[in-house]
Amino acid sequence: MARLSKSNPPPTLDTASSHGAPVAPRDGVYPALYLLLECDRPTMGSLRVSLRGISRIEVGRGERRAVAGVGLTGTRLAVPDPWMSARHAELVCVLGEWTLRDAGSRNGVVRNGERVAHAALLDGDVLEIGRTFFVFVAEDPEPDPALEAAALDGIQTFHRELASELAALAKLAPSRVCVMLFGETGTGKEVVARALHAASRRPGAFVAVNCAAIPASLTESELFGHVRGAFTGAAESSPGVIRAADGGTLFLDEIAELSLAAQATLLRVLEASEVRPVGGAHATPVDLRTITATHGQLTALADAGRFRQDLLARLAGYSVELPSLRARRLDLGNICAALLTRFAPQGGVRLTRQAVRALIAHDWPHNIRGLAKALETGLVLGGGELDLVHLPADVRASTAHGAASPALLSANETQHRDQLVGLLRLHHGNIAEVARELGKAAMQVRRWVRKYGIDLSRFRV
């Protein structure tokens, strides 16, 4: 029987034995099929089906999601998609090559935006079977059950490195070890911080502060509090956010934006576990767990004298780099499910296939924050059914002019595609010349062209 799981890293390539049964190129690595998202039930999230020891998987309509063995090397995946036929499609491995076949369905099978009856499968291919989207991954390390059991509550990921970091954070949660979160804007640093606080079971509040949003003249007052009359306009005393987080967790977002003077005061607070308000004569004890976040590199700032080295050493108990949404494409279905559940708790949300194609094709420069805004606005405009027209213009442009949806690409694959496009442009679309320069067979270059959805005609003159 196929194994269901919740963690994976970026895909590469697959090998198989001469008898058709998949064989991993290294221990613990096998092909997998991901059910990414159901258009009519997008809040159900994603599902991973390992193809370990399997040479055929059949996909078709069923009363509920279910995976069951069929013979010694076969599996059936059932999905409650009314647009699927009872036996809709199958993936077959012969001599190490996986192939997608339409099993006589009524509504057909789509691979990377194009309807096909029979087609070879490449790593990252996006499949539409009925109104359900799948991703084929040719080489996928088997998940570690220990990582899944230890993950922070409320955060699901198929990204192996992120799963490992979340498991480490879960172990650190009950302690007072400071945690630093790095990553591009919108990658979910506050979400992780809140989950860490929840796992800590500290009795106090979770207090989030955006250091970049505090006026420089008010930074120390906002953080450390002030007494009445401490400065012009201080008509009443204020405890400050640090005392508000007493017994709980203080989350300092964009920590790099703090002035050097505020950094010095914060260091004293953390080392002495007490805070003295601006204008006050006495310090108050505080019990803090501190989590900081930034999208910049604090080490470089410290080396340049713009961030205190001693404060950096105090805050850097454990550091985590959160990956961009581009680097965790297989998490798109689960992230959409969580966001749609938040925006439409009453349920009944649906997405059109055109909308999902655009969500997959877009590179999401603002990461999860950008995806959240697109879905929230789209739901309001669509009244519960989100179509392509309800998405922002830059997202719609990802599938402009009817272009096929590209395969799901990792960050490394995106870089490889860009390199290939550059060579094709240089050699005017001549496959043989590109292959010669790369030292690869022309057939391999053609496979990459097809995988990345590259139109050769645009390079030929």
Give the separation between CA 42 and CA 342, rounded to whole angstroms.
12
**Pairing assessment for the beta strands 114-116 and 284-285 based on DSSP bridges:** unpaired
10 Å CB burial of residue 205 (0-12, 13-18, 19+) is middle
Question: Of 331, 390, 340, whose CA–CA distance to 364 is shortest?
Answer: 331
Residue keyed to tokens 């954070």: 169
With the C-alpha atoms ordered 359, 183, 306, 196, is the resulting torsion angle positive or negative? Answer: positive
With the C-alpha atoms ordered 267, 259, 307, 254, is the resulting torsion angle positive or negative? Answer: positive
**Pairing assessment for the beta strands 289-294 and 249-253 based on DSSP bridges:** parallel
Q: What angle do CA 105, 40, 101 make, to 5 degrees?
A: 25
User: Across the strands, what pairs with 74?
Assistant: 56, 70
Per-residue pLDDT of the chain (461 residues; tens, 9 = 90+): 333 333 333 333 233 332 333 344 456 788 999 999 999 999 999 999 999 889 999 999 999 999 998 777 789 999 999 999 999 999 999 988 899 999 999 999 999 989 999 999 988 999 999 999 999 998 888 888 777 766 788 788 999 899 999 999 999 999 999 999 999 999 999 999 999 999 999 999 999 999 888 887 777 777 887 666 556 666 576 778 888 889 999 999 999 998 898 899 889 989 989 887 776 667 789 999 999 999 878 888 899 999 999 999 999 899 999 999 988 999 999 999 999 999 999 989 999 999 999 999 998 999 999 999 999 999 999 988 999 999 999 999 887 644 445 567 666 777 788 789 889 888 888 998 999 999 888 888 888 887 777 877 767 65
Q: What angle do CA 384, 387, 388 make, to 5 degrees?
A: 150
Residue keyed to tokens 């655009």: 358
State phi, psi for 53 to the nearest 5 degrees.
70, 15
Please report, for residues 46, 142, 156, 233, the alpha-carbon distance to residue 153 in angstroms, rounded to integers and kept in the order given. Answer: 17, 21, 8, 43
Fill in the DSSP letter of residue 237.
Answer: -
Name the E strands within 318-362.
Answer: 318-321, 350-351
User: For residue 404, what pLDDT is reported?
Assistant: 46
Give the separation between CA 310 and CA 299, rounded to whole angstroms.
11
Sorted by sequence, the CB contacts under 8 Å of residue 71 that are 6+ apart come out as: none
User: For residue 277, what pLDDT is reported?
Assistant: 78
Kind and range of the H or E run holding 316: none
Q: How far is CA 426 from the centre of its chain?
A: 34
Kind and range of the H or E run holding 115: strand 114-116
Q: What share of the chain is helix, strand, coil (3-state, %, to 5)?
A: 40, 25, 40
The amino acid at 398: S
The amino acid at 23: V
This prediction has a pTM of 0.80
Fill in the DSSP letter of residue 329.
Answer: G
Answer yes or no: are the C-beta atoms of 179 and 165 closer than 8 Å.
Answer: no
User: For residue 26, what pLDDT is reported?
Assistant: 54
What is the CB neighbour count within 10 angstroms for residue 3? Answer: 15
User: Across the strands, what pairs with 15?
Assistant: 23
Q: How many helices (H) and strands (E) does the chain have?
A: 15, 24
10 Å CB burial of residue 305 (0-12, 13-18, 19+) is exposed
10 Å CB burial of residue 307 (0-12, 13-18, 19+) is buried
